[in-house]
């Protein structure tokens, strides 16, 4: 029962005596009841398992990458693209092979080992939107094309290019994004949405606070307006929705297990019939926060171990 009255003093006194909520307007009352309903739904969800601290592929490699970055930049910062890819692979995430190069000749040699056609990208983690500044060269078919692309990119970007990376050409698929952002007070939030250049334009995204309850990642993907694209919309081939859900679930585990990782942007993730593949990524590290830890994860319901 909720009471709304124009005679606030009298209603408030009676409501307090009867242990009934008293609010100043019907709008505020409706909002409060909505929160109560959502809280009741949350209480009915399955309890989170006590768990064993997550499932990461290579904890020693994760520790080495984090330690090296914080040793060179004690305040933290964005990882170079090849190092970010190594971190993702160590975390058990499906990332496109990414090889760092330091010169045009080095790029051409590694491109031959990867196999043509290849993609050349600026290595620096500080280049946010590579395509907008000429930091990506696609469909390079031979060593001469790789050397020319490296020279042109270096002329455009100068020192901020930070070297480059060579990647094989990725298969076509549905573009998705998975992200992570962490606040020192409230902890991490994970996100999934439509990927590529449409991410910011359409804003088709879902957010959640890890750890994720069983089925939460599935529900987040299903809630996207673009979710039908995963199921073969208008004759397009159906892709592996469960592979995208698995990436989201794993990022949520990483958010809990690697507190130094305070920002992660996996965009695009190409989802195909064979699985999901992270084609580009950004990862930002910071020193492990001090104190009792973030608030939100501490409030999540878990059974006792």
| pLDDT string in tens for the chain (305-residue length) | 666 665 655 555 555 556 677 777 888 888 888 888 887 876 676 655 544 444 677 899 999 999 999 999 999 999 999 999 999 999 999 999 999 999 999 999 999 999 999 999 999 988 877 888 899 999 999 999 999 999 999 999 999 999 999 999 999 999 999 999 998 778 899 999 988 777 777 889 999 999 898 899 999 999 999 999 999 988 889 999 999 999 999 999 999 899 999 999 999 999 999 999 999 999 999 998 766 556 555 555 555 54
Supply the pLDDT for residue 25.
81
Joined together, the tokens standing for residue 34 give: 């909505």
Question: What's the CA gap between 39 and 27, in Å, rounded?
Answer: 19
DSSP assignment of 194-211 equals: E-TTHHHHH--EEEEPSS
CB atoms within 10 A of CB 294: 19
> Residue 167 has what pLDDT?
98
Residue ranges with strand state E in the chain: 2-3, 21-22, 77-78, 99-101, 118-122, 136-140, 164-168, 174-183, 187-194, 205-208, 261-272, 275-278, 281-285
CA proximity to 261, closest of 269, 252, 270 = 252
CB-CB contact of 180 with 190 (8 Å) = yes
Residue showing tokens 């600026």: 122
**For residue 187, what is the DSSP state?**
E
| Dihedral sign for Cα atoms in the order 61, 62, 68, 69 | positive
What was the pLDDT predicted at 45? 67
Residue in this structure with the two tokens 């942007």, named with its chain if needed: 265
Give DSSP secondary structure letters for 257-281: H-TTEEEEEEEEEEEETTEEEE--E
Q: What is the separation of C-alpha 75 from the centre of its chain, rounded to a whole number of angstroms?
A: 22
pLDDT of 195 reads: 82
Look at residue 288 in the predicted model and tell me its pLDDT. Answer: 83
Start-to-end Cα distance in the chain: 38
**Any bridge partners for residue 270, and if so which?**
175, 277
As a whole number of angstroms, the distance between CA 93 and CA 95 comes to 6
Check residue 53 and give its pLDDT.
43
Looking at residue 98, what is its pLDDT? 98
> DSSP state, 102?
S
- Determine the Cα–Cα distance for residues 134 and 104; give it in Å rounded to an integer: 16
Q: Are residues 264 and 248 in contact, defined by beta-carbon separation less than 8 angstroms?
A: no
Cα–Cα dist 150/122, whole Å: 9
- What's the confidence (pLDDT) of residue 4? 67
Question: Any idea what DSSP says for residue 160?
Answer: G
Paired strand residues for 168: 118
CA 230 and chain centroid, separation: 18
Phi and psi dihedrals of 264, rounded to 5?
-145, 130
Q: Tell me the C-alpha distance between 170 and 127, whole Å.
A: 21
């Amino acid at each position: 029962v909720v009471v709304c009255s124009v005679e606030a003093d009298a209603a408030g006194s009676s409501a307090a005596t009867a242990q009934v909520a008293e609010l100043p307007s019907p709008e505020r009352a409706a909002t409060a009841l909505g929160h109560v309903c959502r809280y009741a739904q949350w209480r009915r969800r399955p309890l989170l398992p006590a768990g064993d601290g997550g499932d990461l592929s290579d904890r020693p490699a994760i520790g080495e990458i984090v330690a090296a970055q914080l040793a060179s930049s004690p305040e933290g910062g964005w990882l170079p693209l090849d190092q970010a890819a190594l971190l993702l692979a160590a975390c058990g995430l499906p990332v496109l092979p990414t090889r760092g190069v330091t010169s045009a000749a080095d790029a051409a040699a590694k491109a031959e080992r990867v196999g043509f056609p290849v993609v050349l990208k600026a290595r620096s983690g500080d280049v946010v939107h590579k395509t907008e500044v000429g930091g990506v060269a696609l469909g390079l078919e031979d060593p001469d094309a790789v050397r020319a692309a490296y020279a042109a990119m270096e002329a455009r970007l100068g020192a901020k290019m930070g070297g480059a990376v060579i990647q094989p050409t990725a298969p076509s698929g549905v573009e998705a994004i998975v992200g992570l952002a962490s606040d020192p007070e409230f902890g991490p939030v994970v996100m999934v949405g439509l990927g590529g250049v449409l991410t910011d334009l359409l804003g088709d995204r879902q957010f959640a606070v890890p750890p994720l309850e069983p089925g939460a990642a599935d529900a987040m993907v299903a809630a996207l307006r673009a979710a039908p694209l995963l199921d073969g919309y208008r004759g397009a081939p159906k892709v592996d929705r469960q592979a995208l859900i698995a990436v989201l679930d794993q990022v949520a585990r990483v958010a809990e297990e690697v507190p130094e990782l305070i920002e992660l942007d996996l965009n695009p993730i190409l989802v195909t019939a064979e699985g999901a593949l992270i084609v580009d990524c950004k990862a930002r590290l910071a020193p492990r926060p001090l104190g009792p830890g973030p608030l939100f994860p501490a409030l999540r319901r878990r059974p006792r171990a």
